[in-house]
Amino acid sequence: MKISVVVPVRNESENIDPLLAEIHAALDERADFEVIYVDDGSDDGTRKRLHAARKRDPRLRVLRHRRSCGQSAAIRTAVLAARSALVLTLDGDGQNDPADIPKLLSVWRDATPGECRFIAGVRRSRSDGRTKRIASRFANAACRLLLRDDTRDIGCGFRVFSVELFRDLPQFDHMHRFLPVLARRAGANVISVEVRNRPRRFGRSNYGVLDRLWVGIVDLVGVAWLQRRVVVPEIECSD
């Protein structure tokens, strides 16, 4: 199996080396892979750490935004540059455990051959603070209510999908939060897989809870509008 592991980062210098080592531990001798880090305009030591890591690791590719354009743009930059047809994404803060990567890929392999599918991680035993957990529950509930979508954890960064599917999705700022919803809108079978969630070891979050909440509400309305304007035809072949 060939896969591109995509890691968007901004000001995560202390997490670069530990996370990269864990990705290798999870995939070495299991898959043909590359790792694509996208530095979204960091102003700490992230760029220097990635440059040093690139010298040591021939499987690491580093792309950089001159200014911060957001996580969705960083993911898009990486996916469009991927050399594999299959992509796995995870957050660069170390809270997603790379040890779960083989499980996600196993579910992908075991799905119906030829089926358009999307693997979505579901964080269990959340290690975030109480405010973040409440905000996450609100976001998932709003997704079910407004979008009529049963995605269990819309905010988990652990995902597996094809480049072909991603290219067909509508592109907009913050779209990474709605990737499972957008994939289902495009006709994909979204499969949920439980993954571990770890405390952040280094650095601090780039997102404020209230800022993310209000932006998320606006985005929910936009995605709901998109959903009402799509028709996925069921095609029958005539002999």
**166 closest CA partner among 89, 107, 61:** 89
Place of tokens 């959340």: 126
Residue type at 85? A
114-166 pLDDT per residue, tens: 789 999 999 987 666 666 666 666 666 666 666 777 777 888 999 999 999 99
Question: Can you tell me the distance from the alpha carbon of 103 to that of 97, in angstroms, rounded to the nearest whole number?
Answer: 11
Pick the CATH number of 2-227 from 3.40.50.10490, 3.20.10.10, 3.90.1150.10, 3.90.550.10: 3.90.550.10
Please check the confidence at residue 223 and state whether its pLDDT lies above 50. yes
Q: What is the mean pLDDT of residues 209-237?
A: 61
If one compares 7 and 201, the residue with the highest pLDDT of the two is: 7
Whether 234 shows a pLDDT value over 80: the answer reads no
Query: Are the CB atoms for 209 and 132 separated by under 8 Å?
Result: yes
Indicate the average pLDDT of the chain. Answer: 86
For residues 234 and 179, the model is more confident at 179
Task: Output the six-digit token pair for 28.
Answer: 């070495």
CB 216 within 8 A of CB 139: yes
Residue 131 confidence (pLDDT): 63
- Give 119's strand partners: 160, 191
Secondary structure, 3-state, 110-168: HCCCCCCEEEEEEEECCCCCHHHHHHHHHHHHHHHHHHCCCCCCCCCCCEEEEHHHHHC
Average pLDDT over residues 49-75: 96
Q: In the prediction, which pLDDT does 154 show?
A: 81
Is residue 204's pLDDT more than 60? yes
* Domain residue spans of the chain: 2-227
What is the average pLDDT across 98-108? 97
Q: What is the pTM of this model?
A: 0.83
pLDDT of residue 215: 57
Structure tokens at 159: 């995902």
pLDDT digits (tens, 9 = 90+) for 169-181: 988 888 898 899 8
Please report which confidence band the pLDDT of residue 194 belongs to, taking 50, 70 and 90 as the band edges.
Answer: very high
So what's the pLDDT on residue 239?
A: 47
